Amino acid sequence: MASLKAEDANRRAVDLADFEAPEGLVAVAVFDDFESAGEAGLAILAMGEAYWMILHQACYVICVSEACEERVRRELGELAALTRLRPSGAALEYEEFDFGWVSFSLFAAMLIGCFIWQGRSSIDELGRTDAVAMVGRGEWWRAVTALTLHADVVHLVSNLFAGAGFAFFVCRFFSAALGWLLILLSGIAGNVLNAHVYYPAAHYSIGASTAVFGALGLLTGVGIWAAVSAPDRRLLLPRWLLPLLGGLTLLGLFGVGEGNVDVAAHISGFLCGVVLGGLGACFQRACIPLQCVRFVLGGVSVAIIAMAWRIAVAS
């Protein structure tokens, strides 16, 4: 029998001279991997024809009846052409950045410093989120200042560790400067959304957890974008659903609970992070030239927090 080409990425020719198809059958294609052979088999079944998959020399040989050989060959040829048009895996390769120890040190120093200041001065009322003040009176700086305040040491330490954990992966994907800026923006947007959820009822909250779950949302958004952009795989569930379920699971485990927990703020931060993460993943390659202005981006994050507190104290 003549050699057939394997319809996989390598297009490796396989010698089937010593292969004997069962009586009444003829080999129409050979594949190096079971998944590709299975896809060809599904195409044949969709035609209303039967097929036989036979393992030969570590390859998968597809056989059909002699009566439908020409139709099946034509159909598999069209399938191979479509496969070649699929996006290659290289398109899904992302740049990986240094997470930046300096940025993590600044993150911890800022939260600890604000906690010490909070213990020495009555700044809780100035900086906490207040749904009525924010939506009704336009005191939007509270969406920023509230992220730097904490109820007690346990609250502070939990946000420090959780924030650093999620931020590590965010910074590896977006770079340290842009990653922290996106986390901050996710937290701010989450607090704004949360204020609208509660308004016109009075609602107060403090803590960096909105930004922490914003970071989780960023990672989930990146995962959804990567899944949507991936080459087609025949899965029972949409690929984007897997990272979304993972993010929602973590949100449920750590963001929802009894006691003095602002669940709506956690969900708001997470949702805003998902949106920013998905949008940011589209332009991840742009993070490379942004490394030239990483100190500017870092300065923008610090400036946002400093300006918000300046307005709060002056008000």
- 75-99 pLDDT per residue, tens: 888 777 766 655 444 445 677 888 7
Based on the number of CB atoms within 10 Å of its own CB, is 234 exposed (0-12), middle (13-18) or buried (19 or more)?
exposed
For 70, 109, 282, 302, the CA distances from 177, given in Å and listed in that order, are: 59, 16, 18, 11
Q: Which residue has the tokens 């690929």?
A: 239
Percent of the chain beyond pLDDT 90?
Answer: 32
Checking if the pLDDT of 2 tops 50, the result is no
- pLDDT for the residue numbered 6: 39
- Record the tokens describing residue 261, joined without a space: 């927990």
Give pTM, 2 decimals.
Answer: 0.67
- Record the tokens describing residue 211, joined without a space: 């930004």
* Range list for CATH 1.20.1540.10 in the chain: 101-314
The four Cα atoms 117, 123, 126, 127 give a dihedral, to 10 degrees, of 50
* Interatomic CA distance for residues 176 and 182, integer angstroms: 10
* Percentages (nearest 5) of helix, strand, coil residues in the chain: 65, 10, 25
Q: What is the residue type of 196?
A: H
Report which of residues 119 and 311 the model is more confident about: 311
Q: Which CATH architecture has domain 4-85?
A: 2-Layer Sandwich (3.30)
* Interatomic CA distance for residues 268 and 251, integer angstroms: 11
- Using omega within 30 degrees of 0 as the cis cutoff, is the peptide bond preceding 200 cis? yes
Report which of residues 255 and 200 the model is more confident about: 200
Q: Sorting pLDDT into bands at 50, 70 and 90, what band is 10?
A: very low
Checking if the pLDDT of 1 tops 60, the result is no
* Interatomic CA distance for residues 207 and 129, integer angstroms: 9
For 135, 157, 210, the CA distances from 198, given in Å and listed in that order, are: 10, 27, 15
- Record the tokens describing residue 56, joined without a space: 């030969």
- pLDDT for the residue numbered 247: 54
- Look over the chain and give the mean of its residue pLDDT values, rounded to a whole number: 81
Mean pLDDT, to the nearest integer, of 145-151?
A: 92
- 60-71 pLDDT per residue, tens: 888 998 888 898
- pLDDT for the residue numbered 84: 61
Instruction: Give domain 101-314's CATH superfamily.
Output: Rhomboid-like (1.20.1540.10)
* Range list for CATH 3.30.70 in the chain: 4-85
Checking if the pLDDT of 23 tops 50, the result is yes
- Record the tokens describing residue 263, joined without a space: 């669940």
